[in-house]
Amino acid sequence: MTRWRTMLIAGGVALTTMCQPVAAQHAAIAPEAWAAYKAKFLDTSGRIVDNGNDNISHSEGQGYGLLLAYLSNSPADFEQIWYFTRTELLLRDDGLAAWKWDPAVTPHVTDTNNASDGDMLIAYALALAGSAWNKKDYLEAAVTIAHALLSHAIIHAGGQTLLLPGIKGYGAAEREDGPVVNPSYWVYEAIPVMALLAPSDEWQKLTDDGLALLRSTQLGPRKLPADWVSLRSKPRPAEGFDAEFGYNAIRIPLYLARAGISDKALLTRLQAGMTVEGDEPATIDLETGKPKQPLTDPGYRIVNDVVACVTSGAKLPASVRQFAPSLYYPSTLQLLGLAFVEEKHPECL
């Protein structure tokens, strides 16, 4: 691995850190796996297609695509995805991306609100690629997005530093149960990089308070967080959303592991709470603790396997090491899990 290079970027700011991200010279994702992912989800225009959601594209998917292209050491693919992202989604006047692009309607952007996790993923991938590949324009774009997140998406409420899921619709002034947050929008591995792009103590507070929220939000018999959480008083499921540990929250343990957060008690509580039999996760009804939908795809099951790897050194089963893309979301999680284990825990392979 190589350390980040120090590079001069917008405003004469130096981007440097002693953390060690995956070096571009070493692809953490196997070429055949990235080729399969591209064939399934990457349109020739550069958009990542969510085939489980009416083939729309969104800022989250573009951010994931950029990160996976970086982890695959694929600069040409990265540039293709970035071209679509900057020309089709970065349309707002605050530096953030419109979250949704629908091929079935015109204009294609049907909702100009942002999704803060998508913005953070985009900025994170741009920073990694810009540093590794000496691309000043990527770094400048990452700086702009990070500053926009800091200015518009990070708020203070109840003594906590929080990440609004979107600029509109989630604050205390807009909802009776606001502010509402989504704990899975904290991309923990990206937050220290945001602090380099847009220096502020707020980023560390965001990490600390996000982790505190995960530790304290133990809803229902399985002691899990909800996908959408009201913080008007004590944490509870937000109004208008299913009271569930759902498809959003399933990625939280993976995000924690990828960030090197080795809180065994938190990881094992989440793992136990979302597991219904063997190592198979499920979406969970928080009130009853009963499973709603088993998540049998290897991309979901790898989350539990990554937790088992980092907490006990367990090897990943062959079923999740083999990559055969199905739906966009679990396939993305599977590659993120495989890349992490390849880079940080090869003993689990």
Q: In the structure, how many helices (H) and strands (E) does the chain have?
A: 12, 13
With tokens 């702009």, the residue in question is: 144
Q: How far apart are CA 248 and CA 181, in angstroms?
A: 12
Q: For residue 275, what are the β-bridge partners? A: 281
For 300, the 3-state DSSP assignment is helix
H or E element: which one contains 277?
Answer: strand 275-277
Of 60, 279, 285, 343, the active-site residue reads 60
Q: Which pLDDT tens digit goes with each residue over 85-143? A: 999 999 999 999 999 999 999 999 989 999 999 999 999 999 999 999 999 999 999 99
Q: How far apart are CA 55 and CA 108, in angstroms?
A: 12
Q: How far apart are CA 77 and CA 84, in angstroms?
A: 11
Q: Is the pLDDT of residue 326 over 80?
A: yes
Residue 60 appears among annotated catalytic residues: yes
Question: Is there a contact between 247 and 228 (Cβ–Cβ < 8 Å)?
Answer: no
Q: How far apart are CA 72 and CA 93, in angstroms?
A: 32
Q: Which pLDDT tens digit goes with each residue over 31-70? A: 999 999 999 999 999 999 999 999 999 999 999 999 999 9
Q: How far apart are CA 163 and CA 38, in angstroms?
A: 31
Question: Is there a contact between 187 and 255 (Cβ–Cβ < 8 Å)?
Answer: yes
Q: Is the pLDDT of residue 248 over 70?
A: yes
Q: How far apart are CA 290 and CA 274, in angstroms?
A: 10
Q: What is the DSSP letter of 228?
A: S
Question: Is there a contact between 248 and 184 (Cβ–Cβ < 8 Å)?
Answer: yes
Give me the pLDDT at residue 246, please. Answer: 98
Q: Which amino acid is located at 52 in the chain? A: G
Torsion (CA) 37, 329, 70, 181 in degrees, nearest 10: 170
Q: Is the pLDDT of residue 2 over 90?
A: no
Residue 202 appears among annotated catalytic residues: no
Q: How far apart are CA 78 and CA 180, in angstroms?
A: 33
Q: Is the pLDDT of residue 13 over 50?
A: no
Name the token pair of 29. 């994702």
Of 77, 88, 117, 209, the active-site residue reads 117
Q: How far apart are CA 163 and CA 270, in angstroms?
A: 21
Give me the pLDDT at residue 15, please. Answer: 55
Q: How far apart are CA 37 and CA 69, in angstroms?
A: 10
